[in-house]
Amino acid sequence: MPSAANAKSEKPASSEATDNSPVRQIMTIIEHKIRNLEKRKSKLTSYRDLQKAGKELNSDQKVAVAKYDEVAQTLEFARDLSKQVSAIATSAEREAKKQAKKEAWVRYAADTSKIREVLLIMDCLMQMGNTEAREDFLNGVNGACKLTEEDLKILDDLYPEVTPKHEVNEEGQPGFHAYTTKAAEHLYAIIDGKPKEIFGTTYTHIKEIVTAVHECGYFDKGADTGMPAAEEPAPLAPEEPAEGVEHEPEDAALYP
């Protein structure tokens, strides 16, 4: 039975090794060309050294030595080109990271905005369970925007659809996960303001109702506790001396 100790640990490939961008591919080609030129220059250098030492070279070696300067220049050019391409690659990678970070932030902001919209929808539905608040919105008083009976009915019909419960479905199976999916679809459609019909109206109109409810600021008012203001205690009146009883000064006993 194989053990964990015998298993070979595989090192994760470096980012450069797994980077198949066009710039990195060009760099790989140039680096390969540089290695070949370095080998060729090294061989030509050995031929030149033999020639300087007075050894006779054959015709092929002489032709090769004659191209030494050309090889050296080509090698230098390849090295310069490699540095330039490397700088371009580094700059491109830096910009790619910035762009990725920016796109991640945009996604985060969009997701946060959608979650906020969900919270606004749920808060609106919860708050409309208050009888006093419903009356204020029906009459458009106390800072509430004007809503119709139909608007309130739409919210009432929507509430159970977006608050799934742990119940058994018609087939006798737990249906909570299916209900949550449906609830999410409703909420997503409201956030997007889709013109699709639902509950005798459209998701667009439901979004308008929720927006109007929160923009009027009715639920942002300070809560009235209804408790009377605390009264300051009245100062205690001095006690009246009992009739027929004379009060002597406290220090009267000191003077017979």
Q: What average pLDDT does range 14-43 have in this prediction?
A: 82
Tell me what pLDDT residue 252 has: 43
Q: What is the mean pLDDT of residues 120-141?
A: 95
Is residue 192 packed enough to be buried (19+ CB in 10 Å), middle (13-18) or exposed (0-12)? middle
Is this model's pTM higher than 0.75 or not? Answer: no
Q: What does the pLDDT read at residue 178?
A: 86
Task: Give the H/E segment covering residue 155.
Answer: helix 149-161
Cα(214)–Cα(120) distance, rounded to whole angstroms? 8
pLDDT digits (tens, 9 = 90+) for 187-241: 999 999 999 999 999 999 999 999 999 999 999 975 443 333 444 444 444 455 5
Task: Give whole-number Cα distances, 155 to 38, 50, 122, 124, 144, in Å.
Answer: 78, 96, 10, 8, 16
**Quick one: pLDDT at residue 175?**
77
Looking at residues 113-127, what average pLDDT do you find?
Answer: 95
For 150-161, the pLDDT digits (tens) are 999 999 999 999
Residue-level pLDDT at 225: 38
pLDDT single digits (tens) 70-112: 999 999 999 999 999 999 888 988 999 999 999 999 999 999 9
Residue 112 CA to residue 106 CA, distance in Å, equals 10
Task: State the DSSP code for 196.
Answer: -
- Say whether pLDDT at 144 is over 50: yes
Q: What is the pLDDT of residue 18?
A: 52
Assign 52 a pLDDT band (cuts: 50, 70, 90). Answer: confident
Higher pLDDT, 131 or 237: 131
Chain CA centroid to CA 64, Å? 63
Percent of the chain with pLDDT over 70: 78
